[in-house]
Amino acid sequence: MAADTTTTVYTPWRLAFYDIWVLGIVSTWAWGCSTAAYLIPLFRSNVRSNHLDIGAGTGYYLRKAGIPATSKLTIVDNERPALDMAVQRSRRPDARAIVADILKPLPLPSKDRFDSVSMYYLLHCIPAPVQDKCRVFELVKHNMTADGVIHGANVLGKGVRKDNRFAAFIRRGCLNHGVFHNSDDNAYDFEHALRLNFKEVETWVVGSVFIFRAAKPRYD
């Protein structure tokens, strides 16, 4: 999700295809983590009154999990097509859409504080070392309330089960085509970064997927 990316990963037809292929077939049979069983319930149970979704993708989670009409919604991505589709699929025409680079401070007013933040299947797509990706938590916490919660998931490249044939094929293709940049991504580094920046941290590894929920930012 770097701002200097020169090609658009998600064209409109790819956005529609993404739901079935990536979040259905690949997530379940390659990465060993069912979106319906693990990720949607986590998302749905951690949406609060002022929600920030980072890395919109197709807006799948916003559509499937649902954002209550009483909750404010802000969506951040570095791709305008992804943002447009996410707003449309969220069924929230009042949603605020912001094009931004998540590796930099978000271009938001200092008074804007979110009590829930979601970040699903984003970090493994960022073309940066894992240490730089971990700084995302440090940056985002300054846009959160004192009791705010952040939750999400990403595909790991190290310290996970051996890929099955399907997973190996998918991973190789994603790495070769620049979709994944996660060869060194590991649960230890991400969990360590979360614990440095939040007081309450829960993490799980399901198949090859790192799932997290953290609350109460550390501002000191």
pLDDT tens digit string along 103-148?
999 999 888 999 999 999 999 999 999 999 999 999 999 999 999 9
Res. 7: pLDDT tops 50: no
pLDDT confidence of residue 138: 97
When pLDDT is averaged across residues 54-75 and rounded to a whole number, the result is 92
Q: What is the pLDDT of residue 6?
A: 39
Q: For the domain 12-103+111-217, what is the CATH code?
A: 3.40.50.150
**What mean pLDDT do residues 145-174 have?**
97
Q: Would you place residue 57 in the very low, low, confident or very high pLDDT band (cuts 50, 70, 90)?
A: confident
Closest to 108 in 3D by CA, of 74, 134, 148: 74
- pLDDT at residue number 5: 40
Asked if residue 26 has pLDDT above 70, the reply is yes
Q: In what order do the strands lie in the sheet with 114-120?
A: 96-99, 72-77, 50-54, 114-120, 144-155, 209-217, 198-206
Six-digit token pair at 36? 């319906």
pLDDT at position 58: 84
**DSSP string covering 58-118:** TSHHHHHH---TTSEEEEEES-HHHHHHHHHHHT-TT-EEEE--TTS--S--TT--EEEEE
Q: Where are the domains of the chain?
A: 12-103+111-217
Q: What average pLDDT does this structure show over 23-34? A: 97
pTM above 0.85, yes or no: yes
